[in-house]
Amino acid sequence: MKEKTAEQVWNNCLEVVKDNVSPQNFKTWFDPIKPVKLLENILTIQVPSQFFYEWLEEHYITLIKKVIRKELGTEGRLEYNIVMDGSGKTETPITMRLPNISTNLKNPIVSMPIDTANNPIKNPFVIPGLKKVQVESQLNPNYSFENFVEGDCNRLARSAGFAVAQKPGGNAFNPLLIYGNVGLGKSHLAQAIGIEAKKNFPNKTVLYVQSEKFITQFIDSVKNNTQNDFVHFYQMIDVLIIDDVQYLAGKEKTQDVFFHIFNHLHQLGKQVILTADRAPVDIQGIEQRLLSRFKWDLSADLQSPGLETRIAILEKKIYNDGIQISKEVIEYLAYSITSNVRELEGALISIQAQSSLNKKVITLELAKNMIDKFVKSTAREVSIDYIQKVVCDYFDLAIDTMKSKTRKREVVQARQIAMYFAKNMTKSSLATIGMHCGGKDHATVLHACRTVNNLMDTDKRFKAYIEELEKKISISN
């Protein structure tokens, strides 16, 4: 008797599966599977992703167990070959031994959309009885792409976000996770994606929600016995933006309901956008099955803005507010506040308020006084960037020239002085200082400091330069 092939066994399995699942689910979850080989009683099938494998295991394991056992007997086994993202290669096969499969699976809280016309869903944001078309996006119109300043610190995340907005749910970044420290623009970028998607696709339902709000709504639904309404409401969304998902940590029930909402949206090709204050690998207290979904596609980080980006952010803000501020004040702010965008904009607002209330022109002196008050509580230290600016202004050099590889005496000396002040007036490591000064190593920084100290001991004029520069730098601190 001729032995069956992998294709024959799998096709026989599919004939049974077709009678037990909807045509849409069959097309989504079984059509993409490819039989690879049949060795003794082990059938190997190839699935397109880790997510695909996990979905089959959670939702169709009982059915798969039955059809494989029917074809291969009680000792039959199924091996999955999982295609790694974008490579075409497969991961180490995952073997499923049928007799040991647990049938105690968690059922999704809800899985299929319901008829909203005859069964109005309770909207957790407003009042009961609102239909899908009445869902407000909760987006801040000021957080648009037009108001988001692009720089090296955010270019990848911004580009990915814009691509998502052009084709939500049908792009390579679903979910898109944007992460970074506080005040770097995660919420702004996430909402900009929603605003752009809404503009491009007016009929799509876009919703922005902070994770703490999501948690509160879920707790209320449990208290009021309206969990199904809560889940159904979120399953209707076409573009769902969840801000600060790290706050889901430790909240098992909320994670469980979000897991099912996420899977439903993803299965239907809806777009999910998430933000967090750290990379997925660093988020503690999140279930592994949910964390793995955060890692599926692109995780784009936002870094602290560089000097040029900080200046551009201030100029954009000033232009939008329609006010006049001199270039030296803008540069002073950009050099003085380096931690995050929120503090930078907060300082500018404080200066504007002080100027308006006291009917004073915004001068460098006013800016210095306000900055001292604004950042005093954070024990601000002068930045390497600002030290370099003061030194270069003093010697009438361009910063790019000081950071270049030129060995001209006056440039080398200015570079050494900048290194000297950076070591004495900041907490930066020698390696960091060297990197800021043209990619020098720590030994070069140490040599520069020794050279400056020696010249101060032997050259009175040079010592006067250093003392004068120290006063100029200290004014800002």
Dist. CA 279–CA 236, nearest whole Å: 28
Asked whether the beta carbons of 261 and 140 are under 8 A apart, the reply is no
- Residue 392 scores a pLDDT above 50: yes
Q: Which of 141-150, 377-386, 440-449 is predicted with the least confidence, judged by mean pLDDT?
A: 377-386
- Residue 476 scores a pLDDT above 60: no
Considering the segment(s) 6-100 as one domain, its CATH architecture is 2-Layer Sandwich (3.30)
What would the pLDDT profile of 215-248 be if each residue is shown by its tens digit?
989 998 888 888 888 888 888 889 999 999 888 8
- In the numeric block, which tokens belong to residue 57? 């295991």
Q: What are phi and psi of 210, to 5 degrees?
A: -75, 145
Q: Which residues in the chain are classed under CATH 1.10.8.60?
A: 307-378
Output the CATH code of domain 384-475. Answer: 1.10.1750.10
Dist. CA 410–CA 472, nearest whole Å: 20
Dist. CA 373–CA 392, nearest whole Å: 27
Dist. CA 418–CA 469, nearest whole Å: 10
Q: Which of 123-137, 257-271, 390-404, 414-428 is predicted with the least confidence, judged by mean pLDDT?
A: 123-137
Q: Which residues in the chain are classed under CATH 3.30.300.180?
A: 6-100
The answer to whether domain 132-302 has CATH 2.40.160.40 is no
> pLDDT at position 199, please?
92
Asked whether the beta carbons of 342 and 374 are under 8 A apart, the reply is no
What value does the mean pLDDT take over residues 409-433? 87
Confidence of residue 378 (pLDDT cuts 50, 70, 90): very low
What value does the mean pLDDT take over residues 346-374? 75
Dist. CA 196–CA 217, nearest whole Å: 26
Q: Which residues in the chain are classed under CATH 3.40.50.300?
A: 132-302
3 state DSSP class of 81: strand
Angle between helices 61-72 and 6-18 (to 10 degrees): 130
What would the pLDDT profile of 138-178 be if each residue is shown by its tens digit?
898 889 898 888 887 888 888 889 989 998 988 778 888 89
Neighbours of 314 (CB within 10 A): 23
E strand intervals along 40-114: 42-47, 77-82, 94-97
- Residue 84 scores a pLDDT above 70: no
Quick one: what percent of the chain has pLDDT higher than 90? 10
Ramachandran region, residue 176 (left: φ > 0; alpha: ψ -120 to 50; beta: rest): beta
The answer to whether domain 307-378 has CATH 1.10.8.60 is yes
Q: What does pTM read for this prediction?
A: 0.54
Place of tokens 């099938």: 45
What is the amino acid identity at position 27? K
Q: Which residues in the chain are classed under CATH 1.10.1750.10?
A: 384-475
